[in-house]
Structure 1
Amino acid sequence: MTDIEPGRDALLRLIGQHDGGVLVTLRRDGRPQLSNVNHAYYPDEGVIRVSVTEDRAKTRNLRRDPRASYHVTSDDRWAWTAADVTAELTPSAAGTHDAVVEQLITLYRDVQGEHPDWDDYRRAMVRDRRVVLTLRIDHVYGRPRA
């Protein structure tokens, strides 16, 4: 049974209680492409943020078509939330102190806490051509915990 937007707060709470989910993007032929990713949820903004690299399929797919879905489950997989989202992508990190790297640092802290070597992290973000993916939540559905 699927509950369509009843208990919206409970559905969104599940996203905030976990730091991982499945991002579903659309390939050029219309088929879904799924990726397991880590995320941070920002309830005041109604968005989910993810660090991705410029050269990945999910990034290319989202630059072409920003429509996506995001799926999170409880540890026992009984409760779940699916969110229809619209993606926004920053440019790739270009310099160790640019705005994108600063956003990536905030995102890292929100998901993992402190990094042991922020200078090394900054260099890696530029080398890996990291991007901040923001998923604006348009609609949620699922099965909140009873």
Structure 2
Amino acid sequence: MFAREAGPVADEQQLLEIIASNSQGVLAAVTRAGYPHLTNVLYVWDGQERIARVSTTADRVKGRILRRDPRAALHVSGPHFWSYAVAECDAETSEVAMTPGDPASRELLGVHSAFYGELDEDALFGRLIDERRLVVRLHVRRLYGVVLANPPGA
């Protein structure tokens, strides 16, 4: 039988450490019907601005949903199943990359370089434009989650 007591509460710094130490998460957005739309994403974290940046294409569902309703949440797993952080966010989308070196393609270059290292800019700009890529900026407004030092079953 489980005891009825308050669950563990993580402080903000612990939650930010989970987000900063990862680049993979699950992005949740609210569909027109009110159901959550969940998608696995790679993100780049900017701790000073408290923004997670995600590269996507203009025609993907997450981008369309977030342009209509900017409420989002990013769930990031910690080092084991019982630790996680959730960032409630206001989403903002960049313009679609249209020409090599435009603001959107430059921002996308930063996102993709974080994952893949130094890239051939000309080739990348061509691909970003062909794929109609844009950046989803997730501005963190609230954090919650759990960080257990000694998780059950460990």
Q: Deviations over 1:88-135 (max 9, x none)?
A: 1011111122111011111122233222x3211110100111011110
RMSD: 1.3
Q: Does 1:30 align with 2:25?
A: no
Deviating beyond 6 angstroms after TM superposition, the runs of 4 or more aligned structure 1 residues are none
Name the SS for the 2:32 alignment partner: coil
TM-score (norm 2): 0.88
Q: Percent identity?
A: 34
* Structure 2 unmatched runs, 5+: 1-6, 150-154
Q: Does 1:120 align with 2:123?
A: yes
The number of equivalent residue pairs is: 143
Structure-2 residue corresponding to 1:9: 13
* Structure 1 unmatched runs, 5+: none
Write the letter of the residue equivalent to 1:105. Answer: L
Q: Does 1:139 align with 2:142?
A: yes
Structure-2 residue corresponding to 1:91: 95
Q: Which has the larger radius of gyration?
A: 2
Q: Deviations over 1:46-81 (max 9, x none)?
A: 111111110011000000000010000024222100
Give, in whole Å, the separation in 2 of the partners of 1:48 and 1:141: 16
- 1:45-124 matched pairs, under 5 angstroms: 45-115=49-119, 117-124=120-127
TM-score (norm 1): 0.92
Give, in whole Å, the separation in 1 of the partners of 2:8 and 2:127: 42
